[in-house]
Amino acid sequence: MTTYLNALYRHIPWYVFLVSVLLFALLTAVFYKRKGDSLADSFKQAALLDYFFLVLFSTVFSRPARPEMEYVFTPFWKYWIAFRMLNMFGLFEIVMNIVLFVPIGYLAPTLLKSCRFIKNEFVRVLLFCMSLSVTIELLQLVLHRGMCETDDLTHNTLGTLIGYGLYRLVRKCRS
């Protein structure tokens, strides 16, 4: 398990965390001043954008460029690798792609509450998070950094649904 954690920490160097902290502070101040939202909402909005910065860095920009594009458009191919071949790293990748988008699904409703062109909050959050996931996959494909795969879109969307479900549950408990 420690090798998996080392793989995660290896992708984000200390100076990126420093930039992340500064970005978070700046975004919180901008949202709080500009939008007139509560400090808690400004905090959540800044946290979402800062978290996405870290996700983008770790999934695209921290990876070395490859000589050619790598992609897999076969749905659920990673499940075959993980379960049929009993590949623990494949299973770990599936779980991590789901977990990666849980915070985004949880925090997105706060950022998107002022976007009223799509009436349904669930659809708004789902489209936003799927757009982020597609952006990551396309950047990986175009920049030759990582593998563009449909499974990641599926796992990220599942993480979004879990995060949004947690958001709704917390909101319902507070009412």
pLDDT in tens, 80-132: 888 888 888 889 999 999 999 999 999 999 989 877 788 899 999 999 999 99
**How many Å apart are CA 71 and CA 124, to the nearest integer?**
28
**Domain containing residue 123:** 2-174
The mean of the pLDDT values for the chain is 90
Q: How many domains does the chain have?
A: 1
**How many Å apart are CA 70 and CA 62, to the nearest integer?**
16
**How many Å apart are CA 95 and CA 147, to the nearest integer?**
17
Q: What pLDDT was estimated at residue 11? A: 63
Q: Could you tell me the end-to-end alpha-carbon distance of the chain, in angstroms, rounded to an integer?
A: 39
Tens digit of pLDDT for each residue in 128-149? Answer: 999 999 999 999 999 999 999 9
Q: What is the pTM of this model?
A: 0.86
Tens digit of pLDDT for each residue in 155-172? Answer: 999 999 999 999 999 999
- Cα 51 from chain centroid? 7
Burial 2-33 (b: 16+ CB within 10 A, else e): eeeeeeeeeeeeeebeeebeeebeebbeebbe
